[in-house]
Amino acid sequence: MNNRHNSILVIDDNDINRKYLKSVLSNNSLEPVLVESGYRALEELRLRQFDLILVDIQMPEMDGFECYNRIKEEFGLYCPVLAITAFSDNADKKQIIEFGFNDYILKPVKPNVLVETIKYWITNFSKTNGASPFQEDEHVDEEVIQDLLRYTDKDSLLLLIDEFVEETKSNLQSISFLKSNHKYTEILSILHNIKGNAGSFGFTTLSSMASTIESYIKEEKWDRAVSILDEFLEYGDFLFKDHRRLLKIY
């Protein structure tokens, strides 16, 4: 997430909803721009680009589906577009994904789900659009590493991280087995440990992906959880093949 403006275009006709979304996003290192209709959204998009677009599905005059089509036709899908919806039926949720939205957030909107989903898509959008998935040089947060080095020496830190890597490799194998047997709830505790430990050692992308999958499983978004679990396992394999070089501890 480093070196990004994290600008979010929020399209929602309900004033209270907009204020709620603005409060949550603004307090989590995101920069929301709020509009009350699809027409106003198109005006904003003619002036600037955004890192992510959040669209309420049920709006008068121009609903979320029409708004999505207008954005796609005029500007292209250069950033993730997420739906906010009160639909809870699996067929309705499937329709949203098949229509083209990258993801959806259910009402009532939970702050942690909102923030984690948005941050995941800002970080990982290029992976779903044909780019080489691991090009970005943001696999390790250097500030976290430098902070740790204030309290321990380089060799001790590297040994500790090596121990974390070996443990996580084993955990990823367990996740792969559990996934193949559709035991998603059993994956939760493993993901929780990976999320915390990865964050502590500066593996921010790994931590963020674990957090997002956690949310999807808790929300019973099985299709999204499975899709990202595949990416998560692939990314873990990439990361731990060359983690010492990525750490940049000299």
- Contacts within 8 Å (CB) and 24+ apart, 176-183: 176/233, 179/226, 179/229, 179/233
At residue 249 the predicted structure's pLDDT band, cuts being 50, 70 and 90, is confident
CA 49 to CA 78: how far, in whole Å?
A: 9
> Do residues 26 and 3 lie in contact, with contact meaning Cβ atoms separated by under 8 Å?
no
Q: Please give the average per-residue pLDDT across 168-188, as a whole number.
A: 93
Residue 26 to residue 121: CA distance in whole angstroms: 17
- State percent of the chain over pLDDT 90: 56
CATH 1.20.120, applies to 142-247: yes
Q: Is the pTM of this model over 0.75?
A: no
Q: Which two tokens stand for residue 108?
A: 């009532």
Instruction: In the chain, list all ranges with CATH 1.20.120.
Output: 142-247
**Residue 164's Cα: distance from chain center in Å?**
23
- At residue 54, φ and ψ (nearest 5 deg) are -115, 120
Domain 7-128 has CATH 3.30.200.20: no
pLDDT at 57 over 60: yes
d(CA 190, CA 170) in angstroms, rounded, equals 10
Q: Where in the chain is the domain with CATH 3.40.50.2300?
A: 7-128
Q: Strands of 108-247 (E only): list them.
A: none
pLDDT tens across 186-235, in order?
A: 999 999 999 999 999 999 889 988 998 998 898 888 888 888 888 899 88
Residues 102, 72, 219: CA angle, nearest 5 degrees: 15
